[in-house]
């Protein structure tokens, strides 16, 4: 089948392989999005009197068949077709003849790929929200169980002050829920339809871009048609930036879990089914999932900076450089989601050794508490600080559970205020569920059930 830009010459084979790259592979994940965009565009063309309503409906029915075939593994994108847009249009032309040749009226592959990536990206961000909620939910359950499980708090990796498993787990839960706010912000940013912007400058066809946006479930159309194309790369970077914050927290969480599950600490134990073995050492149970969460954080960072570097030097309007951002965008969001699910699984199955937690406490951990008790008895803090610091060997051991129960200020070990995070978790869950329902309804209206 010919390319949709084909004229009176064939592209050099080496250039073709180089320019197609991996689009024909990546685009297999964009088939449904492309068919949805084409279905909405067909209805918009009918509203503009370019197509008859019956023609638009015929196109939509065939697009629905494409999606069904894709789900069954019967629809493939050939390298010679370059991308999903060509493959779908070729299918429409093969099945519907002249009608298939009309579908591209008023649009460019530029606004097609942007709408595909935004529809895919919206769904991917919702999955990332759900995965973060799974991890945060597991951490909040651990925080509730571990509110009276003492844990040596550390600064500079040295013993610092009494803490608790509840405080530690609650900290990561709240941080991930803040990350969800960033992901939702990215979702709001990309929730705008570019269709009708064409090759950056609009078209002299009376396309109702707001109508197209509503059909596709977008909050609005992206107003300025040049900005619609200029925002490619920019919007992907915003999404990856939110994903990078998720990965930052997951990496720190993974590091703590790896460190504290070492036999020398023994605070935590990961179940065998979450650990890989060694090819030579029979005894080994390696936390490979968590190690890869730590490593893949760097991968997502590199994907973010690759997109930023590609986008930063481009002139206005579409440039083929943008093709390179697609893989980074899609893989980055997928990696963050998979990593959050690994973290959720690890936390939910974590075994806690309370005996080892208590055994890690030494009198020096209570030095600050001792100084503050002196302050409450009337000694100036600097004098108390000096006196305790010069007599650390005289510190008496204390009950770590009693120590963590004394910190009653909001957010402290005796007042974790988990309801705050639970409310944020519930709100995030409602947001994701409602958005997924709207997306399912949109799909049903455009392509049928």
Half-sphere exposure of 354 (CA within 13 A, CB side): 10
Residue 122, pLDDT above cutoff 70: yes
Report the pLDDT value the prediction gives residue 4, as an integer from 0 to 100.
63
**4-8, 59-63, 159-163: least confident range:** 4-8
Burial group, residue 380, by CB count within 10 angstroms (0-12, 13-18, 19+) = exposed
Q: What is the pLDDT confidence band of residue 52, given thresholds at 50, 70 and 90?
A: very high
Condensed to tens digits (0 to 9), the pLDDT of residues 216-240 reads: 999 999 999 999 999 999 999 999 9
Residue 1, pLDDT above cutoff 80: no
Candidates 348, 437, 290, 342; CA nearest to 131 is 342
Report the pLDDT value the prediction gives residue 10, as an integer from 0 to 100.
74
Candidates 36, 39, 32, 34; CA nearest to 70 is 32
Residue 178, pLDDT above cutoff 70: yes
112-to-14, 40, 83, 88, 305 alpha-carbon distances in Å: 26, 11, 11, 12, 25
CB 120 within 8 A of CB 330: yes
Measured CA to CA, the distance from residue 60 to residue 38 in angstroms comes to 8
**15-19, 168-172, 178-182, 385-389: least confident range:** 15-19
* Residues with a known catalytic role: 156, 278
Report the pLDDT value the prediction gives residue 312, as an integer from 0 to 100.
95
Q: What is the pLDDT confidence band of residue 81, given thresholds at 50, 70 and 90?
A: confident
CB 122 within 8 A of CB 434: no
Report the pLDDT value the prediction gives residue 192, as an integer from 0 to 100.
98
Residue 5, pLDDT above cutoff 90: no
Q: What is the mean pLDDT of the chain?
A: 95
Report the pLDDT value the prediction gives residue 153, as an integer from 0 to 100.
98
Condensed to tens digits (0 to 9), the pLDDT of residues 55-76 reads: 999 999 999 999 999 999 999 9
Proportion of the chain above pLDDT 90, given as a percent: 92
CB 376 within 8 A of CB 389: no
Condensed to tens digits (0 to 9), the pLDDT of residues 123-143 reads: 999 999 999 999 999 999 999
Average pLDDT for 1-8: 59
Condensed to tens digits (0 to 9), the pLDDT of residues 239-292 reads: 999 999 999 999 999 999 999 999 999 999 998 899 899 889 989 999 999 999
Kindly report the pTM of this predicted structure.
Answer: 0.95
């Amino acid at each position: 089948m010919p390319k949709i830009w084909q004229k009176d010459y064939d592209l050099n084979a080496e250039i073709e392989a180089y320019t197609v790259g991996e689009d024909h592979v990546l685009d297999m994940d964009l088939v449904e999005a492309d068919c949805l965009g084409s279905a909405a565009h067909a209805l918009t063309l009918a509203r503009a009197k370019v197509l008859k309503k019956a023609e638009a409906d015929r196109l939509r029915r065939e697009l629905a068949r494409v999606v069904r075939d894709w789900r069954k593994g019967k629809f493939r994108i050939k390298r010679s077709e370059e991308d999903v847009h060509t493959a779908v249009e070729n299918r429409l032309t093969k099945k519907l003849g002249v009608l298939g040749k009309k579908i591209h009226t008023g649009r460019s592959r530029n606004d097609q790929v942007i709408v595909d990536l935004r529809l895919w990206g919206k769904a991917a961000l919702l999955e990332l929200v759900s995965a973060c909620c799974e991890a945060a939910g597991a951490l909040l359950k651990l925080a509730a169980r571990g509110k009276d499980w003492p844990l040596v708090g550390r600064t500079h990796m040295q013993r610092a002050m009494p803490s608790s498993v509840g405080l530690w787990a609650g900290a990561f839960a709240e941080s991930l829920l803040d990350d969800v706010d960033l992901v939702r912000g990215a979702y709001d940013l990309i929730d705008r339809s570019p269709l009708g912007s064409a090759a950056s400058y609009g078209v002299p066809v009376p396309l109702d871009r707001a109508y197209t946006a509503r059909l596709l479930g977008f909050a609005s159309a992206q107003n300025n048609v040049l900005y619609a194309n200029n925002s490619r790369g920019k919007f992907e970077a915003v999404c990856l930036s939110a994903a990078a914050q998720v990965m930052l927290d997951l990496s720190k969480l993974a590091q703590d879990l790896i460190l504290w599950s070492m036999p020398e600490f023994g605070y935590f134990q990961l179940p065998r089914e979450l650990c890989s073995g060694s090819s030579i050492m029979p005894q080994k149970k390696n936390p490979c999932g968590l190690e890869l969460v730590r490593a893949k954080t760097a991968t997502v960072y590199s994907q973010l900076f690759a997109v930023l570097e590609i986008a930063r030097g481009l002139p206005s309007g579409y440039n083929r450089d943008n093709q390179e951002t697609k893989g980074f965008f899609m893989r980055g969001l997928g990696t963050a989601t998979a990593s959050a699910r690994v973290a959720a699984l690890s936390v939910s199955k974590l075994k806690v050794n309370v005996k080892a937690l208590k055994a890690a406490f030494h009198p020096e951990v209570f030095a600050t508490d001792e100084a503050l008790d002196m302050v409450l008895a009337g000694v100036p803090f600097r004098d108390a600080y000096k006196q305790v610091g010069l007599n650390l060997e005289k510190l008496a051991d204390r009950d770590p559970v009693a120590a963590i129960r004394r910190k009653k200020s909001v957010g402290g070990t005796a007042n974790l205020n988990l309801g705050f995070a639970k409310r944020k978790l519930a709100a995030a869950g409602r947001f994701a569920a409602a958005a997924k329902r709207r997306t399912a309804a949109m799909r049903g209206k455009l392509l049928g059930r």
